[in-house]
Amino acid sequence: MQILSLRRTLATLLTCGALIGAPAACAAALKVHNNRLFVPVTINGVAAEALLDSAAEMTLVDPQLAAQLKLVADGGDTAQGSGGSTPVRFAKDVSIDAAGVKLDHVTVALLDMTDLSRRLVATDLKIILGREYFDAARVRIDIEAGTLEKVDPSVEPAGKKLALTSARGIESAPCRIEGVATRADIDLGNGSEVLIGRDFAGKHGLLAPTRIVAQQSGGGIGGPVKRDIVVLSSLVIAGAEFHDVRAAIDPEPTAGDVNIGTSILRRFALVIDFSQHAMWFEEKRSTPNRGAQ
């Protein structure tokens, strides 16, 4: 779920949580709601469940939970998401613990998640755990096995290593779309189709009337948007090929070329280390995947 740049510099508000290392790895069970990943967390000592979102520029908390935690709102700004923009406020000095990774003195954004709960996840959403988590430690995610764990950064992970590039607060990896080399935003919060930015789609003929097979509602933070649906003949990432992939055209001007979420990433066991701008893809199925949803 893309949560893109806040329009005012947050340097005076954001204190990226320091990792307090635990001597042993601690695995957590992932739950899947509507093809999106949830993980148990402790926030300021209170047990909760958070949506795991590698494309969220910062962690978000619903004001209802913020009131329960006695968080104090301090300042505000506008957050840009895949459905448009929405106002948020901030709260400082929040502690979050998930799967052995502890973040202290984090600044979070306060966002009413009533609409997101209803439209996207079909459950009561109170926390979106953003990229601070992936900046703080190296973690391994196996969507099919339903596990999340902190791993030793001194041990080389299994799988194909890809270098990540940071832009718009999101990490992206090299991929190919119908033979065209580009980069795909790594978005664990995207539980829907692959997203294709309108600019990229226009340059490569994906907006031709013959390519559009449907139209449907999408969009995350900022509200619902109508998107054209196309079928990609091929998508290749980390050496794995996907064929006949449904993709939605993202009309937002902030969209990257490509955005991949759980429909693609569940084919791999993933080791993610944003601080080192690296990601390892261990393919779990060797046969080409057709019609990834």
Q: Tell me the domains of the chain and their CATH numbers.
A: 3-150 (2.40.70.10), 160-290 (2.40.70.10)
Half-sphere exposure of 152 (CA within 13 A, CB side): 6
On the question of pLDDT at 3 being above 70, the answer is no
pLDDT band at 136 (very low <50, low <70, confident <90, very high): very high
Helix (H) or strand (E) holding 5: none
Residue 86, Cβ neighbours under 10 Å: how many? 17
Which of 115, 130, 123, 112 shows the shortest CA–CA distance to 64?
Answer: 112
- Sheet containing strand 27-29, edge to edge, reads 27-29, 147-150, 139-142, 268-273, 278-283, 160-163
Per-residue pLDDT tens digits for 201-246: 999 999 999 999 999 877 656 566 789 999 999 999 999 999 999 9
How far is it, in rounded angstroms, from Cα 119 to Cα 111? 15
Residue 224, Cβ neighbours under 10 Å: how many? 14
The pTM of the full predicted model, rounded to 2 decimals, is 0.85
Report the SS3 class of residue 2: coil
How far is it, in rounded angstroms, from Cα 55 to Cα 174? 16
